[in-house]
Amino acid sequence: WFHSGDLGVMHPDGYIELKDRAKDIIISGGENISTIEVENTLYKHPGVQDVAVVSRPDDKWGEVPVAFVTPREGAKLEERELIEFCRNNLAHYKAPKAVFFQVLPRTSTGKVQKYVLREGLWQGKQKRIQG
């Protein structure tokens, strides 16, 4: 066996659906939130070019999802608009509590560096999962 750190579901027909990386699952008030599910929802918005969802510490819920978004060229996006878009397409607790607009940091191979985004939000706080 190979332990990749990915979490998934095997369907009865043998299809394996990846849900998220174990370290990227957000536990908010006891509910598991897949960052991939929230990202896929935001990608459906016509003004979104790129997105990454990570956790932010929260005194009430433990941690909550927040989104980092790169708008499409010429798009005029607002935080409230994207949060409402998610609330209309996901369970409300899965919607980001904040949206930050910026170009996403990437590795030399093009993968989003979520740890860079997370570090700024968790600085000085106890992390649930190291990584």
Q: Determine the pLDDT at residue 129.
A: 46
All structural domains of the chain: 6-122 (3.30.300.30)
DSSP per-residue letters across 2-62: ---SEEEEE-TTS-EEEEEEGGG-EEETTEEE-HHHHHHHHHTSTTEEEEEEEEEEETTTE
The predicted model scores a pTM of 0.81
pLDDT digits (tens, 9 = 90+) for 35-50: 999 999 999 999 999 9
Q: Determine the pLDDT at residue 21.
A: 61
Angle at the Cα of 90 (from 104 to 118), degrees rounded to 5? 30
pLDDT digits (tens, 9 = 90+) for 58-104: 999 999 999 999 999 999 999 999 999 999 999 999 999 999 999 99
Torsions phi, psi of 43, nearest 5? -60, -25
